[in-house]
Amino acid sequence: MTNKEKARERREKRMQEISLLRTIPYSDHQRWWSSDNVAVVTGSNRGIGLEIARQLASHGLTVVLTARNVNAGVEAVTSLRHQEEGLKVDFHQLDVTDSSSIKEFGCWIKQTFGGLDILVNNAGVNYNLGSDNSVEFAETVVSTNYHGTKNMIKAMIPLMRPSPQGARIVNVSSRLGRVYGRRNRLANVELRDQLSNPDSLTEELIDRTVSTFIDQVKDGTWESGGWPQTFTDYSMSKLAVNAYTRMMAKELSTRQEGEKIYVNSFCPGWVKTAMTGFAGNMSPEDAADTGVWLSLVLSQEAVTGKFFAERREINF
C-alpha cells in the first residue's frame, strides 16, 4: 500500500469516527448553552457555512445566518426551517468586505439580541479549481478571507456577551495556510519564524506580509517571491487568518474570568461544495463538525489560539 493510500485509509477511518461522534448528543452537564445564546455564522447561505448554521441551530442555539445576497439568505433560512421544525434561525444581510455593512450588522445584532456568544467566520472565496493557480483575483481573495475575518472579529468583540463559559470565535481556515506545511510553506525562513512565534507576531507583520504578496502580484513578480505554490492567493489569505487567530488569542487571554473569549481556527478539509466545484472528498456535514465542536465544547479546557482538523489539534 502506498503512502497516499495509507493516508486516504486513515482519513476515511477518521471520517467514520466523526460521523459517529456527530450522532452522540451532548450530555446535560456539557450543555452550557440554550436558545438564549446567539451564534453568528458568516457566509452561511450555502456549503459549509449553511451546515454549521444548521447544526448549531439543531443543538438549540439561536443562529443568525448571513449572506451578501438577501434573496439567497432568506431562501437558506426558509430551507432550514422546512428541514427541521423548531430551529431558531434568523437572517441578516452582511458583506464582510464592506465596513459599513459590518457596522450596520453590529448595530442590528445589539438591538435585536443584545449581543452574541459565538462568531463563526466562514465567509470566503477561492477562484482556483483543480490544478489551477491563477492569482487574477488575489486582492478579492485576501480582502474577503483575511481582512473580512479580521474586521468582523474587531467589530464583534465589543458585542460578545460575558459568561462563565466564555465567548467563542471560530475561523474557518485551511491546511494550505500552514506556515510549516510540508508542500506549501513560505520560502522565507525568517518570515516563517516571525509568523510562527507568538512573541513576534503582530497585526502589522501579518498585514505587511499579505500587502507584499499583493504588491508582487500587481507588478508580476509573485512567482519568484517564495509564496505557497498551491492555490497561492487562497493559501496566503488562510495563512494570514491562522496567524491572526494566534495573535488575537494571546491578546484576549489577558481578559478576566467571565469575560474570556476563546479564538481558534480549523480546516474543514476538501469538501463537496461549490468552492471546490463539488469535487471534494468530504460531505458538508462532516466538514462542519469541527467548527460546531469548537463553538460548543472547548471552554472547560480554555483552549485558544489553536488550529484543528477532524477534532484534533494540528500544527500551524
In sequence order, what are the residues at sequence separation of 6 or more whose Cβ sits closer than 8 angstroms to the Cβ of residue 71?
none
* Among candidate residues 302, 314, 316, 273, the one with its CA nearest the CA of residue 52: 273
DSSP structure string for 77-108: HHHHHHHSTT-EEEEEE--TT-HHHHHHHHHH
CA torsion 78-82-83-86 (nearest 10°) is 100
**Integer Cα distance of 171 and 191 in angstroms:** 22
Q: Assess whether 234 carries a catalytic annotation.
A: yes
Q: In terms of Cα–Cα distance, which of 295, 293, 260 is closest to 62?
A: 295
Beta bridge partners of 262: 168
Grid coordinates given for 173: 481556515
Round to whole Å and give the CA distance between 100 and 106: 10
Q: How many Å from the N-terminal Cα to the C-terminal Cα in the chain?
A: 29
Judge contact between 227 and 265, C-beta under 8 A: no
* 3-state DSSP assignment of residue 268: coil
Give me the catalytic one of 26, 146, 234, 262: 234
* Closest to 191 measured CA to CA, from 174, 175, 206: 206
> Which grid coordinates belong to 75?
431562501
> Starting at the edge strand that comes first in sequence, how are the strands of the sheet with 312-314 ordered?
88-93, 62-67, 38-41, 118-121, 167-172, 261-266, 307-309, 312-314
Active site residues: 234
